[in-house]
Amino acid sequence: MSRLFGVATRSIVVVGVLLGSQTLPAQAITVKRDLGGSVAERIQQVRQLSATGTPVRIEGTCISACTLLLGVPTTCVSPQARLGFHGPSSRLRGIPLPPEEYERVSRQMAEMYPAELRRWFMAKARLYTTSYLVISGGEAIRMGARACD
């Protein structure tokens, strides 16, 4: 009986290892309301989502660091979505980043956007540091974001 149990256990372990090594489809992420967060943490999320091929749909309000999700190759935007952009700022309200840090983080953020949106961000949107500049998903699509089917 114990010999049979040992064989059965090894079989289950082998099946488990084989199943565990298969790549399962990534669960899609739908953005309905995301007000941002840390740029560094969001860039890490973009890298992870990109590596796994996770589909991302921006359908609602996506503000601040949420817009960095445009850097995921599988991200699509609904024309009805609302995206709010602003330049990098310190966590201390009213205290700006030092100029070198502001430029560095602005460039990091801009790298996440399609080329035309990147140029617009660097020329206009990043200048907003105490509020944000809102565009529609349709406008983002016209500037290179991928439209959702």
pLDDT tens-digit readout, 24-82: 456 899 999 999 999 999 999 999 999 999 999 999 999 999 999 999 999 999 999 99
Residue-level pLDDT at 10 = 31
CATH: 2.60.40.1220, 3.90.226.10, 3.40.640.10, 3.40.50.300. Which one for 26-142?
A: 3.90.226.10
Q: Please give the average per-residue pLDDT across 93-103, as a whole number.
A: 89
* 6 vs 12, more confident: 6
pLDDT bucket at 18, cuts 50 / 70 / 90: very low
> Residue 129 has what pLDDT?
87
Among residues 140, 148, 138, the alpha carbon closest in space to that of 68 is found at 140
State the pLDDT at residue 25: 53
Q: Which tokens go with 116?
A: 């035309």
Is the separation of the CB atoms in 141 and 147 below 8 Å? yes
Helix residue ranges per DSSP H, 70-131 = 99-110, 115-123
**CA–CA distance, 49 with 55 (Å, rounded to integer):** 8
Asked if residue 19 has pLDDT above 80, the reply is no
Domain residue limits, the chain: 26-142
Which pLDDT tens digit goes with each residue over 117-139?
999 999 999 999 889 999 999 99
Per-residue pLDDT, 12: 28
- Name the least confident of 5-9, 80-84, 104-108: 5-9
At residue 130, the pLDDT reads 85
